[in-house]
Chain A
């Protein structure tokens, strides 16, 4: 998949890159990080102009994120009908209001695999759009210019950097799932201990 996409980028340039990052932000599983690093290397080699490429990629990915936020926002009604007023829903909404900004920021460039679910949750959970946009813009700017910058810095050796960063993102996702599992397990243990002690 990534090889085919790279061929399309060298053939059609910035428009195809914009389409890839836009669709990626909507949940199409494109290897976005690898693509961004490769494009940084293409800029160094003089195939693409980096300011224009960076700006267009950033605009497209932010538009994609806003659209997936909107999907969550408009799906809010049926979800609210089902869960509104329940303790779990209120708890989830409150925690997203508190931690949402950081989740949005970190999932743009560090744990990219869960960026789309976070957008949807932000939209559904009524996270203020302006705040969403600020965190999203900051995170995506780090992704585009930071990772693209690494590609630019390493030039033709971009494949090594790309492999390292993609695998690291997968590792962080695994650690997050493992962490949630352990946290839930410990919480359950604490609750059952407390029940035993009181009983």
Chain B
């Protein structure tokens, strides 16, 4: 390799490397800040042990109706009814695809409708630490002489 080519190669490597470091460095820093605010969730609660998720803000547009149904324990037909679309042929489509297909004018409407339907139809959240039922105090009868 001629000296001028080597010089160009060195320049290109340093320039591209610097760009990548700058770009991903900022993104890593940003992700680290967000990551810092998160801790691994505590050991599964009763609800999680049952596989029930309760926070609807975790629903994403790549999810499908059956996936959400299983995650939040809401029957899929309830969710399809809320959207007003047939379940048939739509089970494998993501919320984004359903939105594009059935509500092309209203961006994000499927996500919002699903969130609302889950909130309205989710089974009552299980208590984290259900109290141990105590037997009722039995009245004592004393015989009076």
Question: In this assembly, does A79 line the interface, its C-beta being within 8 Å of a C-beta of chain B?
Answer: no
A128 is an interface residue with CB less than 8 A from chain B: no
Say yes or no: B13 contacts A156, CB within 8 Å: no
For residue A119, give the distance in angstroms from its CB to the closest CB of chain B: 22
From B64-72, B81-89, B110-118, give the one contacting chain A: B64-72
Q: A157-B38, A171-B25 are in contact. Are A177 and B16 (CB under 8 A)?
A: yes
Q: Is A89 an interface residue (CB 8 A)?
A: no
Most chain A beta-carbon contacts within 10 A, residue among B6, B31, B70: B31
How many residues does chain A have at the interface if contact means C-beta atoms less than 8 Å apart? 35
- B23 at the binding interface (Cβ < 8 Å): yes
> B92 near A164 (CB under 8 angstroms)?
no
What mask results when residues 141 to 156 of chain A are scored 1 for a CB within 8 Å of chain B, else 0?
A: 0000000000001111
How would residues 133 to 169 of chain A score, 1 for a CB under 8 Å from any chain B CB and 0 otherwise? 0000000000000000000011111001101100110
Chain A residue, CB-CB nearest to B26: A167
* 0/1 string, A168-189, CB within 8 A of B gives 1: 1011011111111110110010
Number of A-B contacts (CB under 8 A): 115
- Write the A3-45 contact mask toward B (1 if CB under 8 angstroms, else 0): 1101100110000000000000000000000000000000001
> Which residues of B have CB within 8 Å of A161?
35, 38
CA distance A188 to B3 in the complex (A): 9
Residues of B within 8 A of A180 (CB): 13, 17
Q: A175-B21, A177-B17 are known contacts. Are A184 and B63 too (CB-CB below 8 A)?
A: no
Nearest B-chain residue to A155, judged by Cβ = B41
Most buried by B among A45, A47, A181: A181
- Is the pair B63, A7 in contact by a Cβ cutoff of 8 Å? yes
CB distance from B92 to the nearest CB of A (A): 5
Residues of B within 8 A of A181 (CB): 10-14, 17
CA distance in complex: A6, B97 (Å):
13
**Pairs A–B under 8 Å by Cβ, sample size 29:** A3-B61, A3-B94, A10-B67, A45-B71, A46-B51, A47-B67, A156-B58, A157-B38, A161-B35, A161-B38, A164-B32, A164-B34, A167-B28, A170-B27, A170-B28, A173-B20, A174-B19, A174-B21, A174-B23, A177-B20, A178-B13, A178-B17, A182-B14, A184-B6, A184-B9, A184-B10, A184-B13, A185-B10, A188-B10
